[in-house]
Structure 1
Amino acid sequence: MAASHLPRHIQNMSEASALEPHWGYADRAVPCTNDPGSCAYLDVVYRSHDLGMYYTGIIWATIGSILLVWAITRQVCRRQTSGVRLPAAQAGEDPKVRGSALQRLSSAIRAYARRYLLPDASRTIFGRTTRTQVLTLTVLTGYLTIWSFVGIVYGKWVTPVKKLPGVYNTRTSLGPFADRVGVLAYALTPLSIMLSSRESILSLVTGLPYQSFNFLHRWLGYIIFAQSALHTIGWCVVELRLYQPQPQVGLDWIKQLYMIWGVIAMFFLTIMVVLSTPWGIRLTGYEIFRKAHYVLAMLYIGACWGHWEQLKVFLLPSLIVWFLDRAIRLVRTALLHYNFLPSGNMGLRYADANITFLPDEKSGDVVRLDFEHPQDAWNVGQHFYLCFPESSIWQAHPFTPLSLPVYNADTQKHSYVFRAKKGETKRIAELSARRAARSLQKLEGQSESKADAQLSVVVNGPYGEHITRDLPSDTNVLCIAGGTGITYVLPVLLDLAARPRTPDRHISLVWVCRHRKDLEWVAPELEILKLEAKTLGLKMHVFLTRAAEEHEGVADPNVLPGKPKENDEGAKEKHITHEIRPTGSSSSGSSCFSGDRLSLHGVSMSDLMLDHVLNRPNLEEIVKDFVQQNVRGRTQVFASGPGEMVSELRKVVAGVNNGGKVWKGEERWDVRLTCDDRLEW
């Protein structure tokens, strides 16, 4: 619909000598031949709109400037930290007081910021979200609020209705304000799409993983809904109450095509908001919500185009970003699976994963997938989306590989562990159980060959950040995992094991799992770490939260899954044998880093400790003890597990950060947290 053909306001097109164009709005008839009050009102309307368009430019210029400064600062900081730091003794420094005044000031400021901004904000309102993200949302909301009101002349004009003596229209600045918030809702649509993209432009610029923007995407959607609602309510009040005579004016207004599209757009937006609430997702299921969200978003943008085509400058980029994101995903997946077929020709081929099915009726069955795939190495900390065509081609779930990528290798080994909960993971577990049972039946009928249970997998990725790239060689590392969250921290330890040993560096693993048999999930990787523990200076601490539920048939409580016992050559089941001595327990109040130790075959007693506790470990005690024992270097905590554990760790790590001590040169109190709290474990 052309702007010159829009019957806007009370303009008399037949008496106009010219049409004055206004970008993003209806053309204005000049000169104004209405009564003085109506002409003054039109001056306010068009001036407010023109300023609003300038303000949207300022908003996007501000966003672009922030991203530009962020990208430059990121590159500068990376170059500064890429150099190799000499040990304190070689550098002639006190091992407890290091760095220039500027470095110490920068680290102290970051430590203070983490102390107050790392913990969760109001969980009732925002869920498990850090104060940093809530602060960002608050700043953005305040910024948009300013531009929603500034530049509008607020007033009231009572004007006569032509050919109806004694009937008057009431014109106020409610109309210009409603237009302003409507324009801002259009202008923010591309940003909302960018914040939701998996192939994220924002991630390339900032280095933050795409999932870091999910919170802002969700709340920016709520802001757009609020702006759209204010726009709708404002014009309903104007057209259905302030303009006269009623109901004729209101009926003529609502029957216009652009208004019909406006109602449709508001309907789609309302449905999207309702379905995106926590109870809406629980009601429909995440997969239904996600697919419906895609469709409704595109329908909403199309309806917005029909409602006000003049603002398509904001809608077209939204569509382009959305389709580019989907196209890049498809191309990346196709390239990743374009390999040699069994026939020798090239084509698309699934990856065939070997299945290890670990039944657990009480807590949920666990599935381990292992396969090799020809591709480039990913980075430690990144994850892949796995699709299982034999179950559904419409669903893909994010999983972190627990295997270490090998650079310059033609083929990479993928290993994944996940617990079946409901939906797709439960169907995959059931399918894996059936495959494993058939494989066992075949194996029983074969004396020499082995029958493997396999599952077809489509891989898409990798996504996420390289969590060990900027890790200084003298940083002390504490890995904390809950349940299958072990898959996130194991590659970190395997990566450190492949690096040269750094003197005085402390490395510890704290794994909270339920039963002894859970060690079977990652037995090969634990065996590697066991062999490297002494050289690496690694201490591993396993907390069994449901040890009391172990069945009474276990004769030796010191036998853990993983490696055969030396005196049981005929055992078919793998076990790791531990020689256990009395240990300190967090449940008793003593430190888990003190007291007698536990030895593993081939490892000294100081390399591994196992705590059997009936309750979860005291994370505050664990983190504080680890920091206090460090001689030099800052502290890096890697964590993954249930949401409750991650929230508690944020609070604990925030409390341990001490900017005052960091300023004095005690780097160990500069404690940083990297966690994978997005994945559904």
Structure 2
Amino acid sequence: MNARLATGLKDGLSHSPPPNSTRSHVLRWTPPNCAAMRTSRTFPPIPPTRATGAIRRVRFRACRMRGPVRISTRFILWAVIVGILFLWALARRLFPLSRTTYTKLAESEEPQAPQNPVYRLNRSIRSISRRYLLPESFTSLFGHTTRLHLLVFAIISVYLTIFTFVGLVYKTWVTPVKGSPGVYSTRSSLGAWSDRIGVMAFALTPLSVFLSSRESLLSLITGIPYHHFMFMHRWLGYIIYVQSALHTIMWTVIEGKLYQPQPTQWNSFINQEYLIWGIVAMILLTFLVVFSTQWGIRLTGYEFFRKAHYVVAMVYIGACWGHWEQLSCWMIASLAVWLIDRTIRLGRTFAIHHFNTPGTNMACGFHVPRAKLSLFSNDADGDVVRLDFEHNHDEWEVGQHFFLCFPELSVWQAHPLTPCSVPGQSPTGQQHSYIIRSRNGMTKKLAELTVQSDTPSTSVVLSGPYGQSIMCSNTEGNESNVLCIAGGTGVSFVLPALMQTISEVGEHQLVEFVWVVRRENDTRWIENELRQLEKTASSMSNFNIRIFVTREGEATSESSSADGSLDETEKPAGISSVSTDKRQSLRIQHMPSSTNSASRHPDIGAYLKDFVARTAHGPTCVLASGPLGMITDLRTAVADCNDPAKVWRGDERFDVELVHDDRLEW
């Protein structure tokens, strides 16, 4: 045996079985000068042996994957990602958005233009990015997303494409098959290329999981809310799918066509365990991609998508591990990211309910508040439910949201909702108020619960808060103009920021609140808050409220709107009668009745441009939440209002920022 082994090694043949192989004795060809081969990255033709061609090629492929090209492809990618995040965090630290020369002025003084060049450069760069990267493009393919997202996606795609092809020598070898005269096997660099693209799909899997994490480290580093990464999570998944599909197709061609003799080679190849796991992984990945599309979610419902996505994704990671154990490091990292995210979620849920009062003590100091339910019936547009409760915990930032679970209805569902209340207003705890449109599933059950009792209520389990503060970066220095625009229940997003802003507004700031609703009775959702806002607006010359009703009655003439008068329709309870002053702080305008959606909705873009024109100085911050069409129009209008050249010269009126709720965007 020793003599045979020595002879085999001399000829480049190894008689040792592959690791974890069920075969006790196979032949494996090792290149005589492996170091030289890896340096030149070229592969000599494989001499014919008595070993099965499929086993020989599998082992040869594994040898090549351990080469320096494979290692660099895997880890350079992550080195680049870590480097970019480090530079981003460093830039946030070194170039904070503040005026070093600004001091708060007396109410009678006029604010001065910024003098700090670094500040002006920072604002000008931001204005440039909004001017050219804020509008939407290719919505039929990418959905309602900004050009900035598309630019980042394009950069990542180009980077991955380059590293898919560089560093390989593309050659073809034709070798005769022993014992089969006239039959030749074709060997080429296609196998090495297919391996590389498969390795890259493995290496991108942890990043895809990372981008979908609610407890996002990326948000801490970049300051970007976690839900802004969902676009990249979705499209990175598509990239992984394309890479995996190409890897599968190319090896199918190699093993089923180029390697001979057939069908012997294919039958030997297709029955191997690692390949079976690869087929399972590809099927699971196809399921994930198909049922995460708009068509798939509409077909099965959001809850099925969410639960199936979690389960199938974990099984897919396990199948990838079984397909190629040598790359299990990426699957371990993916599972670790997912488990850490889940653990922190549970920990935060426990922390916000532990040792907090008032509430219902369930067990072990876990206190659950009970919410009062109010139903606003609307057969035409769908019912709306308002939740109000108090819970003792730390304050959240304005604009952050919570995940709410209703144990009496289901412990397996939690919905992201933004409180329309301002934190820190109650001495006994934090006041929570939520406005929820009843549709299907859990929200429909919540509406049905309100009719089962004269004083309906339900227990609520909170998780959060999540997201970032939406108080615009411009407001540092207390000199920004603020325009709050909401559509329907989107008022929950902008209302707390509006109330916080008017409590600190300066004399020279302009603040306006625009709310687009379908029916005038919809204003009852925030009856008390609207009464408070109207009272504040009546005593301030720089704060106005404008409500547009889109599906009731005839339009109020523009002349009557201009002089402050309203139509004579009955106002909902809680909204006071209009004053007799010439200036009207709260105006309700009915849009024309029309089957054309565009004609019965206000021109929000034109309203924004008019608002900016009426400002005396200072930047403008637009806070918005509403239908996708409204957000699309606002993105275009905000981009048009930005003028980087004027911002650089110190005219901050043309520095307009948009902050909107895009958690439900596609």
Q: Normalization by structure 1: what TM-score? A: 0.84
Q: What is residue 232 of structure 2 aligned with on the other side?
A: 216
**Aligned partners of 1:329 and 1:169: how far apart in 2?**
55
**Aligned partners of 1:680 and 1:366: how far apart in 2?**
21
Pairing partner for 2:177 from 161, 179, 182:
161
Matched, 1:531 2:535: yes
Does structure 2 conserve the Cα–Cα contact (< 8 Å) formed by 1:634 and 1:667?
Answer: yes
Pairing partner for 1:13 from 21, 28, 36:
28
Quote the sequence identity (%): 45
Q: Where in structure 2 are the equivalents of 1:321-360 lying within 5 Å?
A: 321-339=337-355, 346-360=364-378
Pairing partner for 1:382 from 393, 400, 406:
400
Q: Where in structure 2 are the equivalents of 1:602-681 lying within 5 Å?
A: 607-614=585-592, 615-679=600-664
Query: 1:368/1:181 Cα in 2 relative to 1: closer, same or farther (>3 Å)?
Result: same
Alpha-carbon RMSD across the aligned residues, in angstroms, is 3.4
Does structure 1 conserve the Cα–Cα contact (< 8 Å) formed by 2:612 and 2:653?
Answer: yes
Given residue 632 of structure 2, which amino acid in structure 1 is its aligned partner?
S
Pairing partner for 1:560 from 571, 574, 581:
571
Q: What is residue 464 of structure 2 aligned with on the other side?
A: 461
Query: 1:185/1:3 Cα in 2 relative to 1: closer, same or farther (>3 Å)?
Result: farther
Matched, 1:492 2:497: yes
Query: 1:517/1:204 Cα in 2 relative to 1: closer, same or farther (>3 Å)?
Result: same
Matched, 1:428 2:443: no
Q: What is residue 405 of structure 1 aligned with on the other side?
A: 423
**Aligned partners of 2:127 and 2:272: how far apart in 1?**
58
Distance apart, 1:66 and its partner CA? 0.8
Matched, 1:170 2:186: yes
Q: What is residue 122 of structure 2 aligned with on the other side?
A: 106
Does structure 1 conserve the Cα–Cα contact (< 8 Å) formed by 2:397 and 2:468?
Answer: yes
**Aligned partners of 1:44 and 1:266: how far apart in 2?**
20
Q: Where in structure 2 are the equivalents of 1:226-375 lying within 5 Å?
A: 226-339=242-355, 346-375=364-393
Q: What is residue 551 of structure 2 aligned with on the other side?
A: 546
SS class of match (2:412): strand
Query: 1:631/1:342 Cα in 2 relative to 1: closer, same or farther (>3 Å)?
Result: closer
C-alpha distance after superposition, 1:197-240 (max 9, x if no partner) = 11111111111111100000000000000000010011111111
Given residue 129 of structure 1, which amino acid in structure 2 is its aligned partner?
T
How many residues of Structure 1 are paired with residues of Structure 2 in the alignment? 615
**Aligned partners of 2:18 and 2:400: how far apart in 1?**
49
Given residue 395 of structure 2, which amino acid in structure 1 is its aligned partner?
A
Query: 1:43/1:404 Cα in 2 relative to 1: closer, same or farther (>3 Å)?
Result: closer
Distance apart, 1:628 and its partner CA? 1.0
Does structure 1 conserve the Cα–Cα contact (< 8 Å) formed by 2:449 and 2:456?
Answer: no
Q: What is residue 517 of structure 1 aligned with on the other side?
A: 521
Does structure 1 conserve the Cα–Cα contact (< 8 Å) formed by 2:228 and 2:662?
Answer: no
Does structure 1 conserve the Cα–Cα contact (< 8 Å) formed by 2:274 and 2:322?
Answer: yes
Distance apart, 1:425 and its partner CA? 1.2
Given residue 361 of structure 1, which amino acid in structure 2 is its aligned partner?
D
**Aligned partners of 1:474 and 1:15: how far apart in 2?**
73
Query: 1:464/1:420 Cα in 2 relative to 1: closer, same or farther (>3 Å)?
Result: same
Does structure 2 conserve the Cα–Cα contact (< 8 Å) formed by 1:352 and 1:457?
Answer: yes
Does structure 2 conserve the Cα–Cα contact (< 8 Å) formed by 1:656 and 1:671?
Answer: yes
**Aligned partners of 1:474 and 1:194: how far apart in 2?**
37
Distance apart, 1:330 and its partner CA? 1.4
Distance apart, 1:17 and its partner CA? 9.7
C-alpha distance after superposition, 1:29-50 (max 9, x if no partner) = x9998379x99x9699728953
**Aligned partners of 1:531 and 1:353: how far apart in 2?**
28
Q: Where in structure 2 are the equivalents of 1:20-59 lying within 5 Å?
A: 34=47, 46=64, 49-59=67-77
Pairing partner for 1:191 from 188, 197, 207:
207
Query: 1:308/1:673 Cα in 2 relative to 1: closer, same or farther (>3 Å)?
Result: same
Q: Normalization by structure 2: what TM-score? A: 0.86
Distance apart, 1:396 and its partner CA? 1.1
Query: 1:78/1:90 Cα in 2 relative to 1: closer, same or farther (>3 Å)?
Result: farther
Q: Where in structure 2 are the equivalents of 1:96-175 lying within 5 Å?
A: 97-175=113-191
Query: 1:481/1:33 Cα in 2 relative to 1: closer, same or farther (>3 Å)?
Result: closer
Does structure 2 conserve the Cα–Cα contact (< 8 Å) formed by 1:385 and 1:397?
Answer: yes
Given residue 286 of structure 2, which amino acid in structure 1 is its aligned partner?
T
Pairing partner for 2:481 from 473, 476, 480:
476
SS class of match (1:204): helix
Given residue 72 of structure 2, which amino acid in structure 1 is its aligned partner?
Y
Segments of structure 1 that go 5 or more residues without pairing to the other structure are 440-451, 551-555, 564-574, 582-595, 599-606
Query: 1:463/1:486 Cα in 2 relative to 1: closer, same or farther (>3 Å)?
Result: same
C-alpha distance after superposition, 1:295-337 (max 9, x if no partner) = 1100100000000010011110100111111121112112222
